[in-house]
Structure 1
């Protein structure tokens, strides 16, 4: 690891810019910074999810691994041209997703966020993951990015959806199903 911060404030960002890991400075509202920030926000939501998991060691372990991946992903965005996330990360997500999805019944309705606090938090993380994916797609339209990063976020949102379903159904809980007639006035 490079230099550690001994002083948290530097005043270098007071002009609306921030430093990338390669030493370049860019505007704080640049898409690259938005991608870094959204990956960080997603990581925070997954951290909250982990704190809601009671006796869910398998899910907590998977989420902890994902948090490390997301930290690496943010680092990848902080170093333009860097490739940290790769096909092995995506393969692990797909295998983990298949494992959690194996015992779930097929979907017959849309599902609303809820069921349990952990399931609702997982849905929130999924929604932030989808936003992160949109930000990365936009970044890729203006700058070179690692396509595996975009693929990773796409698979991660799928995994978070499946885990939310698992969490809603555990311990006698139920998924909250969308009912079309309830949305009419």
Structure 2
């Protein structure tokens, strides 16, 4: 049983193992053994984690040619940006900073993964650096930038008077208007 894959600590791992083997009487290792093992693994990995991640991505790419990854390290060999996309189309990125330079790198990696095609739509939160970068990287005639509805709806109490946002009738009518697939932009402004 490899508890490190689900990111749980030594004590919970020990309890899970106890359940797996049928009780403490069947255990061959103590909680201290589990803690020591975790300490030793952490010590062994220290400073090699980026290398291990990149090697893992290289193996995935060898097994599946449509697996894509790109990464960048700083002058101290610290990972500052990484992007990967699997064959199904799931894409993930980790950025050390959320600034224009990082978003530019991210969106260009995204385009590379998509055979240099611009997305039809990008849904983001209201990050100013991201907005600027989207306008610089993607062709606005092909890519529509939209804000996430969850983000918008969470901003409603902040943008309208608190009394109005607590009015159940108003919020019900507002939600009906916002979430209706039949409401056209002009109609929304009239409502």
TM-score by length of structure 1 reads 0.27
Higher helix fraction (1 or 2): 1
- TM, length-normalised to structure 2: 0.27
Q: Which has the higher contact order (CA 8 A, sep 6+)?
A: 1
Q: Which has the larger share of strand?
A: 2
Q: Which has the larger radius of gyration?
A: 2
